[in-house]
Each structure stands twice: as structure tokens, then as C-alpha cells.
Chains A and B, each alone.
Chain A
Amino acid sequence: MLDEPLRQSGGYIGQSVPRREDRNLLLGKGQFVADIQLPGMLHVAFARSPLAHATIGTVDVDSALAINGVHFAASGSDVCAELPPINGMQVVTPQGWRDRVDTDILIPDQPLVPEDRVRYVGEAYAMVAADSRYIAEDALEQIEVEFEPLPPLPDAESALKDDAVLVHEQLGRNVAALLHTRKGDGADAMESCPHRLSRRFVHHRYAAMPMETRGVVAEYDGRTDTLTVWSSTQVVHWVRREISTALEMPEERIRCVAPDVGGGFGGKGHVYPEDILVAWLAKKLRRPIKWVEDRHEHILNAAHSRDNIYDVEIGFDDRGKIHVVTSSFIVDSGAYTPVGAGIAGNSIAHMLGPYDIPHYETDCKVVLTNRTPNAPYRGAGRPEVGFAMERAVDIVANHLDLDPAVVRFRNMIPPEAMPYDVGLTYRDGVPMVYDSGDYPEALRRALDALGGLEVIRKRQKDAWANGKYLGLGLGCYVEGTGVGPFEGATIKIDSTGKIMVATGACPQGQGHETVFAQFAADMWHVPIEDVYVTVADTADITLGYGTIASRSTVTASGAIKIASDKIQEKALTIAANMLEVGEADLEMRDAGVGVVGIPDMHVTWREIACAAKPGWDNQRPIGVDAGLEATSYYEPPTVTWAYAANAALVWIDTDTGKLEIEKYVEVHDAGVLVNPGLADGQVKGGLVQGLGGALLEELAYDEQGQLLTGSFADYLMPTASDVPPIEVLHMETPSPLNVFGVKGLGEGGAIAPPVVIANAVCDALRPFKAELNSTPVRWQDIAAITENADRQQNMRADQEA
């Protein structure tokens, strides 16, 4: 009775239901943090370090305080005297992971405003609050500070030198984490390989860069001793937890809300010092406080991402079958590591991708430097390791004069091997088992969407013959999605019979309200209009985890299901009592419960909810508690495995090195698609971000640790005219790990483009025998390849003459 097929015909799951979020946003009636205005509100601004590394001497805020309209100013020592540092490890790793992966982790805590030392350009050293942001910025200019410059560590390699200055002296080293893992015979397997190749791959630094910067508004109510905090965050419950710790207030006295959030992509996926500082100041000054980051601050201070160097060795046979991969990689974590070794953990788990490779060994150093802290951004370790691995596969193919597509097919795990035990441990502590999918089929479909491999190769030969350059770029990946530890949902059926759903998920544009309503409407057999969804508000759900790591569709649906099951079991008992039949004769239908086969015998949720109420004349059977509500937590057994094959055709203009993407295809499988239209938008949006990282976006530093791309004039994100024709094809292999068969898909699109573009360019330029093993793929590097080759050819021709 409760076990009906969950994807009913005529149900909402699987339909591209229009978004309920759209109307307000289209009318300009969305409410973002910056839109919140409260009486008596003060505006905060932070003085931020112009130096990458320096000792802080005296900080004098008196002149700032003297400005008319300035109400508060504090140095780092003022702040540190009242507030502890933020927990350096906001994400805990489970014992199961630490048991199975060799780890040596020393995570530094992050002072909310440091008193002794600044560690990156943009780190705050003082703060002010004033009647307006204008006045607050005037005040910042009056703060006098003495810095004693320290040698800057502008990148990971300089931080690893023996004589390098320490970013955090108390750690005794510039390494926050050392990780090592091994499968099969590990590196020992290299000995017996007929072919071995080694390469270095570099994945540069870029960032989430949502259109809405971060922002926090806080208001303290002295009468009830409660704090309300609106933060542009992906994790309201984490923000509440850290504020509770810092201010020593019970979590239940703090309400944290993420109103409309203008994009996150991971960049808002952890707690920042400002979240706590703004809450603290609201309580301290008893006035509403607002801080809205400006774009320059955002680029300097919000988490960056990527920035890895991989040294890879790959051992293979004549047919291109890969026997062993080893890698040694470093992650430039910047000055702090808010999400610890999470990115590196992902990279380790994802290196083997869709391939059946018996031996693997990897070690990693997460390195502290004087760059902006590094935290997960859409893909989170997978684009980086994918770049290394998928470039390596192409290099193997070239070495053997085989087609890169053929080498991939020869190494892919066949569908009949599913579920496939990878032989590694995921960062949730569970042994990795790919749950479902057909990897070779995805690649076949991707190639077909470009005309098929034979046609592509013929077109390429024709192009070469005409002095033109056309290349095929491939990139395949698997992605652990829907990771735990849990998500929560509260379901209430109120006396109107409407279904109230609240979860701990915190959307930033994904359309959760719509998607969760689809789930609940099907579970409750009601029109979708009868479902009310609340997200991102700690007042509505006791515990939640948030929207990071491609997880909410999987984890929140599970929680909604468990809570609904719980209530429905009780509702059926009550309905049986009302209809005077046995529960076994009942089914859920038509916004209520009816007797199987008898259309007239039916009670609605509204009637059942009234019957379930406490008090006189209720219709509950004896022993049944009053009320129709439940809060449940879904703890997924482990991750579901989404995957994709990407392929692109790219033309090179050898005069300028400019490349033109003729078409980009991604064949993506995230299991059952709840709302195919929204799923498609997620993958395409991710793809364009990936293309931005591949070609345009860069957080570049100079040797002094100065960021060179601190505005949108220099940090170049793709515009409408930078986007090539894109086709996304969806496969839907259900996951066996949850009742809906769903997998996560928020991040996938962003994973492959950097390597697909690099592979395509190298493929087009095969006549020049060139390799591009670092990102971003720059026109000037491509132009240099063709120019040098031209020059060499001319020189050779001259010599021969």
C-alpha cells in the first residue's frame, strides 16, 4: 500500500514542471540579503590587507571613529579579545575514511580578524560600522596600521621549500594535510608495464564567482535574547552552529535564513568570519547590522578554488590498456583551509574515473600559502584530477598512435560489471562501489552527436590537407553525488490539508522548491499547488546540512520520504478508523485516502488532519498520538555515481591561436531526472562555467602574492557570445541506492570542459606534436606552438636548400 511505484504515470516526478521560484524573481520582487533594510541598521566595512604576508603592528582606529556617522571600529585585537577563531575544520571526516586513507592533518584555525599577522591580500585587519556603506568606506581610509612585511609565499612550490617562512608557525610546517592511498600493487605495478609515461599537469586557480556577492544581515532581539541572521549562504545550519559556538548562545536561539541567494556554486558553501562578526556586532551594539561584500572584496576574499599541480605516471600495454596510475599532487590551499582536505579527498577518489585500472597509488599535500583560502567550487577536486587523468589518456593514445576514443573504450568498465567495486574508500568512509551506468554507451552517444568517430577523423584529415586544424576533445568522468552525512525534512499536514515541507537544503537557483514539491506531491497524491515548501531557514527544521556537493535532490528527497512515510502510516490508521475499514483495504489517492475499488469511500488529507487534531471529538483510534507531522533525517548509505562523456570539435586559427568550438556535447547520466528541464539547465550552466575556467577565468598572482585579476575587467567570465553550440543528452540509469533512483547533478557540467578543450587543441595540432598540459588554454600558447613549428619547418627547409 505504501510501496506503490514511486514514479507513477501522470505523477510530477519526471515532468519539467515550471518553476514556482520564477515569478518573484522576474518581477524584481526577489529578496536577496542586500535587499533587506531594517530600521536603525548600520553598515559594516572591513579594512583588508594590501600585503600578502605581514606582521600587524599597531592598528589605530581612533580617527575612523571620529568621523560623523561612524559608530564602531575595531582592530583584530579588539575582535580576538571577544571572539574565538572559526573552527578550522568545518567538515569532519568520518573514522572510516581516516582508517582507510593514510592521513596526517594539521588544520589551522582562522581568526575572525587576525591580530598578529595577515596571511593573504584581502584578509581583514579591522572593521567599522557606520550609517552607510559610503561613510564606512570613508572610515576605512582613516585607519592607521603598521605592517612589517614578511616574505610572501605566492604559490605552493615556494611554500614547500625547506627554508620557507611558515604561514602558521604553530603548525611547524606549511602542509595542512598529507594524504596517501593505494590500490592493488600501487606504484610497484609500474615495473612490469611495457610502456610508462610521466607528465606534470597544472590546473590553475579560478573561482565560483556567483553574480550575487556574499552578504550578511543580523538583528538581535534583546527581549527574547534571539538573533536572526540572513546570510547569502549554502549552509544555514553550519552558520547557525558556528555563531552559536562563537557567541555561546544556544543554537535554538539563533535563526539563520538564506533568502534568495544569487548563485553559490560552492563559494558560499562554508562559514566565513563575516557571518559570525556581523551577528556578534548586532548583539553587541543592539542594532541591525548589514555587510554586503563588494565585488573587489569578493574576488580577493571569498574562497578561490582549483590550483593544483599533478605529477602523474601511467603504465600501459601495447593496446593502450592502462595497468597502473600513480600521482603525486599538491593543492595550493591558500592561507586557511575552511573545508580541510575535502577537495584533495575528492581528487584521490575520482582519479580512476570510468576506467578499470587494477593498480593505483597517490599522495597529496595540501599546502598553506599566502593566497586567498581555497574551498570547493563546482566539481571540487574532480576537474583538477580529471584534467590530469584525461590528458594522460590522450597522451597514451598518441604515444601508441591509437585513437583516444579507442583507448577509452578499451579501458572503460563495461555495464555488465555494475555494480563495480573500485577498491578505494570514499570520503564518507564507505568502500567505493559504482552503483549503475553504462560508461561506453555514453561515450558512443557523445561521438555520434558529433557525427561519429569515422566522420570526425575524415573531416580532420581533410582539414589538415587544407592547412586547417580541427580537433576532437574527449573527457569522461564519474562523480560521487548525494553524499551524506544526512539531510533533514519536516512535514506537516495542517488543518487545511495542505502539505508543508521544510528541509535543510539551501538552494541558490537550482529550483529546489519546485523539485521538492514534485516529490511531495507524488508521495501525497496531491496537486502540486497543495504542497508548500520552505528551504534554508533554521526555524523550520531542527537539523540540516545544506546544499553543497551535488546532494540535495538525493538527500532531501530521502528525508521527505521518510518523514512522509511516518505520517502516512499514522494517517492510514486514522483513515481506517474514519472509514471503518481495515488499513489493508486502503490506498492513497485523490489528495487523501480511499478504499480500494470503492470510489465513494474516501477521506481527504484535510479531513484526516482534522481528525488527527488533539482535543474533543477527534477521530483517532485509541493509542494514536495527535497531530500529523514528522521530522526525519535521511542518512544515505553512501554516494550515488553520476557520470558523463564529453566531446567537442574545435577549430584553431593558427594566425591568432584563437579557437572556435564548433560543437560541445555532454552525455550525462544522473539516474532518474525529477525535472528534466531543470536538470538540463544545471548541466549546461555547469558546462559554461567549465568553459570559463578552461579559457578565460584566472586568479593570477605575482611573485609578491598580489592578485592581478581583482575586478571584472580582468577576471573574465563567459558572456552569451562566448558560448558555443552545446548539446546535452541525458541517460537515465536509476541508482539502486534510493527509492527514487536519483543521483546528484549540480556539479557535473563543470568537471570536463578544461580537459576537453585541452585535448581538442592538442588533437587538432597533432601535426605539430604539441602538448598543452596546463590550464587555462591560452590563445597565445596555441599561437606559439604553430609559430614555432612554422619556424622550425622553415629552418629545416632552409638547411635542406
Chain B
Amino acid sequence: MKPASFSYLLPKTVPEAVKMIAEHSGDARFIAGGQSLVPMMNFRLARPSVLIDLNRIPDLSYIKDRGDYIAVGAMTRERMIENSDIVRDMCPLVHDATLNIAHLPIRSRGTIGGSISNADPAAEYPATMLALDAFMVAKSERGEREIGAADFFDGVLSTSLEADEILTEVRIPKAPANSGSAFIEISRRQGDYALAGIAAQVTLDDDENIIGIQLAACGVGPGPVRLNQVEDGVRGTTLTAEILSNAKEAATAAVDPEGDVHATAAYRRKLTGVMTERALRKAVLRAVGKK
């Protein structure tokens, strides 16, 4: 299990990186944290002929408060995110999601940009960004554009990034006042990819009516799945047992997962409902608790 040969390029700036990818587009790949790519290379299931290493671009590693949103540089490591006060205070769902990612040594190296552009359907960040309506900033020699999460994730391990584009920044809207969130997943073991996971954020008014709800699932579709219909059933209500039970049922119906050696499709569907119920309950409790 040794990787095939490749040429190694080490840009120090974003302009250098986009120039390199433009020159080698097609057979080059960026490497961010490498926690998904290197295993694939060791199995020789991925064999880029050119590897452009983003790990020495200092400008891509930061967490900044920009008023309405926080901006996270694509090469910011998950360990930095889990330890960030800004993230914990302003985007608590991202903090929660980060703690569910694999294990400590993987988070030492893994980056938010790597996870999002790898777009594993079972990964925590894509679902979280989808739920929070985050924006991805992509750069190429052609310029810069901002892509909404709903347009960004595009099927299994696929995004709307063009071959010559690099993800440079993730813009995550701050949690509103009176909001609460929860990331809940079930996996066969601690740190494994979720059989089903839910990213949830709710916003309450003064009477504890749910005026805002954002829900997305991981592990149960070709990519992260926004649970719009479930949101519609919950928005404008207070969270009664009946509403919860309806949400659970609606979530079960909303996804179309595939079965594999770890779980049947039916079981993943069922778990989607259960995780939805649990995430909603926890998010609302947290919102109430904050008041």
C-alpha cells in the first residue's frame, strides 16, 4: 500500500496555487490535510500525477469575525476550529460538528476546506454548511466567486468547483440571537462516518415559537441533504410531541439512502428520523436555555 509516483508542487500563495492548477488541470490535485486523499493514494485508488500542496500557504489559515458571518480560511485545521472561541460562541453548530469528526489526530491535520471540497456524503462539515447556508469562496485565474452551499454540493464526492478553482474561504453566518443548535449522529463506533447525522439550528421568538429552522442530514444520500419539508412542518410551531413525531416521520420520508455493509437503506432512513427528533429536541432545549 504505497502511493504511485507524482510530482510535488509547493505554492506559497493563493495566486501561485491557482496558476499551478491552471497549468496542470486534469491530472493535478490539491492536497489539503490529506486525511481522505492520502489513504486513497496509498490504496492507489487515487493517483494524481501532480500534487499541489496547500499546507504552506499561510494566508489560508484563519478564523475571522466579519460582522454577520465568520470567515474560515480553507486550510484552517479542524483542531484550530474546535478550539476557537469565535466558532464556539458565534457558530456553535460548527463547533459541535467538529467534535464529531473522526479522531483527534485526524483533526490535527484535517482542514475545513479539504472536508468541504472532498464532499463525502457522510462527512459532518458539508451537512453543517448546507444547514447554515454558508458560502464557499472559490478562486481561479479567472477571478473569485462565492457559491452558496445549496449550489456547492453536487452529488457523491462532487462539488460545483471548476477544475481550475481552489476553495479559499468558508463564510458561515453567525447564529441568530435566541437560537440553539445541535449536531447529532449515530455511527457504529466513535469517530466513524455517520450512518445518519443531523445538523440542526433553530431560532425562537419570545414565546418559544420556532421562527427559524435549518436542518441537514449526512450519511443518507449522495451528498448532504437539506431537509426542507421537515423544516416547513416545524417552522412557526412550538415543539410539541406531535410536531416532533411528524418531523421524525417527515425526515424518514425525505431521504433516499443506499444500503451497504454497515447499514441497510431502511435502517439509515429510520435513523434519519430518530436523529432528526433528537437534534431538534436538543437544539430547542439549548435555545430555551440561552434565554
B274: chain A residues within 8 A (beta carbon): 655-656
| Given contact pairs A138-B4, A700-B261, A296 touches B43 in the complex (Cβ within 8 A) | yes
Residues 705-722 of chain A, each 1 if its beta carbon lies under 8 Å from chain B, else 0: 000110101101011011
Number of B interface residues in the complex (CB < 8 A): 23
A780: chain B residues within 8 A (beta carbon): 263-264, 266-267
In the complex, the chain B residue whose C-beta lies closest to that of A710 is B43
User: A716, B188: Cβ atoms under 8 Å?
Assistant: yes
A779: chain B residues within 8 A (beta carbon): 267
Complex: how many Å from CA A700 to CA B260?
A: 11
Task: Say yes or no for A295: interface residue by CB 8 A criterion.
Answer: yes
Task: Say yes or no for B237: interface residue by CB 8 A criterion.
Answer: no
In the complex, the chain A residue whose C-beta lies closest to that of B263 is A780
Question: In whole Å, how far is A135's beta carbon from the nearest beta carbon of chain B?
Answer: 9
User: A716, B44: Cβ atoms under 8 Å?
Assistant: no
Task: Say yes or no for B51: interface residue by CB 8 A criterion.
Answer: no
Residues 664-696 of chain A, each 1 if its beta carbon lies under 8 Å from chain B, else 0: 000000000000000000000000000000001
| Given contact pairs A137-B44, A700-B261, A787-B270, A722 touches B4 in the complex (Cβ within 8 A) | no
Task: Say yes or no for B271: interface residue by CB 8 A criterion.
Answer: yes
B263: chain A residues within 8 A (beta carbon): 780
Q: A138 contacts which of B5, B186, B264, B266 (Cβ < 8 Å)?
A: B5
User: B261, A294: Cβ atoms under 8 Å?
Assistant: no
Complex: how many Å from CA A700 to CA B188?
A: 16
Residues 180-196 of chain B, each 1 if its beta carbon lies under 8 Å from chain A, else 0: 00000010111110000
Complex: how many Å from CA A740 to CA B107?
A: 52
Residues 97-139 of chain A, each 1 if its beta carbon lies under 8 Å from chain B, else 0: 0000000000000000000000000000000000001100110
In the complex, the chain B residue whose C-beta lies closest to that of A718 is B189
Task: Say yes or no for B1: interface residue by CB 8 A criterion.
Answer: yes
Task: Say yes or no for B262: interface residue by CB 8 A criterion.
Answer: yes
Task: Say yes or no for B290: interface residue by CB 8 A criterion.
Answer: no
B4: chain A residues within 8 A (beta carbon): 138, 141
User: B186, A716: Cβ atoms under 8 Å?
Assistant: no
B271: chain A residues within 8 A (beta carbon): 656
User: B192, A722: Cβ atoms under 8 Å?
Assistant: no
Question: In whole Å, how far is A732's beta carbon from the nearest beta carbon of chain B?
Answer: 36
Q: A133 contacts which of B2, B43, B44, B261 (Cβ < 8 Å)?
A: B2
User: B261, A722: Cβ atoms under 8 Å?
Assistant: no
Complex: how many Å from CA A722 to CA B189?
A: 7
The A-contacting residues of B in range 38-66, CB under 8 angstroms, are 39, 43-44
Task: Say yes or no for A783: interface residue by CB 8 A criterion.
Answer: yes
A296: chain B residues within 8 A (beta carbon): 1, 43
Interface centre among B5, B39, B271 (most CB of A within 10 A): B271
Q: A716 contacts which of B2, B192, B266 (Cβ < 8 Å)?
A: B192
User: B2, A721: Cβ atoms under 8 Å?
Assistant: no
Complex: how many Å from CA A511 to CA B183?
A: 44
A696: chain B residues within 8 A (beta carbon): 188-189
Interface centre among B44, B190, B270 (most CB of A within 10 A): B270
User: A783, B261: Cβ atoms under 8 Å?
Assistant: no
Q: A656 contacts which of B2, B186, B262 (Cβ < 8 Å)?
A: B186
Task: Say yes or no for A199: interface residue by CB 8 A criterion.
Answer: no
Q: B2 contacts which of A134, A709, A711 (Cβ < 8 Å)?
A: A134
Question: In whole Å, how far is A697's beta carbon from the nearest beta carbon of chain B?
Answer: 11
Q: A658 contacts which of B2, B186, B261 (Cβ < 8 Å)?
A: B186
| Given contact pairs A133-B2, A714-B262, A783 touches B270 in the complex (Cβ within 8 A) | yes
A698: chain B residues within 8 A (beta carbon): 261
| Given contact pairs A714-B261, A719-B189, A783 touches B267 in the complex (Cβ within 8 A) | yes
Complex: how many Å from CA A657 to CA B1?
A: 36
Residues 268-288 of chain B, each 1 if its beta carbon lies under 8 Å from chain A, else 0: 001100100000000000000
B189: chain A residues within 8 A (beta carbon): 696, 716, 718-719, 721-722
User: A708, B5: Cβ atoms under 8 Å?
Assistant: no
| 7 closest A-B pairs by CB | A780-B267, A294-B1, A721-B190, A134-B2, A655-B274, A708-B261, A700-B261
Could you pull out 13 A-B pairs where Cβ atoms are within 8 angstroms? Answer: A137-B1, A656-B186, A658-B186, A698-B261, A700-B261, A708-B261, A713-B39, A716-B188, A716-B192, A719-B190, A722-B190, A779-B267, A780-B267
